[in-house]
Structure 1
Amino acid sequence: MYFGEKLKNERKKKDWSQDELAEKLYVSRQSVSKWENGQNYPGIEIIIKISDLFGVTIDELLRSDVDLTEKVIRDSKQLAHPKLKFTFDALFLLGAAMLIIKIVFILLNKFTAVDFAFGSSFFWNFGPLILMVGAWIGSESVKEKYKEE
């Protein structure tokens, strides 16, 4: 039995309309209709709520429909890497901020009489580039890993 059929049967057992179920799940009636007709699938949060409402296991709901199972797996993989992606984004922004600061200091030194000495260390010369390129490579590898899975 497919998810939509299972949902419809469970809803009818409770003698609920699509509107009533939609209110209980905090979604639109159209969403419930699309789920029941197999045009769309709910996210994992809604699947958990449906499981609780009808007293069926999540396993019963997921294993009833291969497409739904695959969607939940895809969604969970997409959510598996947000912290890593956030770290790479933060590193990229740090590198960009360092580059902007360096450019501002260079312009201030050029157009003012004040000498803003910030050093010519390896860190200031190549740090922004290393951070930005490293973060870009890391971010791309996370994207590729997600695509492969």
Structure 2
Amino acid sequence: MYFSSKIKEERQKHNLSQQQLGEKLNISRQSISKWERGESYPSIELLIKISDLFEITLDELVKQDNSLKEKIIKDSQQLAYPRWKLFFDILLTIGFFIILAKIFVVIGNKFFDLNIAFLQGSLLFQIGPFFMSIIGAIGSESLAKKYK
């Protein structure tokens, strides 16, 4: 919780209220309060503004606070292949919905005598949605872990 105490210490050293600091950073007083209580952290842009305002380095603000360092790293990560990830997510979703539709048709045919034929022709239509879901899940999961 180094950041929370550091921001409060610097704010008080510069004789600023939470409201005044919020106005200088164009944010609410409540945001400053949350930072000082350790409930949230600012974005990297705000950290730079704070560093400039208090004339301290980013190292002094960030380096001792592991949670803040992790947040900055996570915020800066971008997926390496966002379009492929979206493709696999869509494939997973379509496969899942086809499987659900088939289940509802089977239940409807069995209990309500509906006599609906839904994707019952070939083996491809029988196992295709299952494989779509599996391939979509594997592709999506593997690409979710790849960052630029």
TM-score range (shorter-chain normalised) is: 0.5 to 0.7
| Alignment equivalent of 2:36, drawn from 8, 23, 33 | 33
DSSP-derived class of the 1:16 partner: coil
Identity %: 28
**Matched residues, number:** 136
Gap runs ≥5 in structure 2 = none
Answer yes or no: is 1:132 the counterpart of 2:133: yes
Seen in structure 2, the aligned counterparts of structure 1 residues 82 and 42 have a Cα distance that, compared at 3 Å, is farther
- Deviating runs (4+, > 6 A) in structure 1? none
Normalising by structure 1, what TM-score? 0.57
Matches within 5 A, 1:1-149: 4=6, 8=10, 12=14, 16-23=16-23, 24-28=26-30, 29-34=32-37, 41-47=41-47, 50=49, 54=53, 61-64=57-60, 65-66=62-63, 67=65, 68-77=68-77, 80=79, 83=82, 87-110=87-110, 111-112=112-113, 114=115, 116=117, 118-142=119-143, 145=145
Distance in 1, Cα, partners of 2:71 & 2:114: 62
Seen in structure 2, the aligned counterparts of structure 1 residues 20 and 125 have a Cα distance that, compared at 3 Å, is same
Distance in 1, Cα, partners of 2:90 & 2:54: 43
Distance in 1, Cα, partners of 2:94 & 2:130: 10
Gap runs ≥5 in structure 1 = none
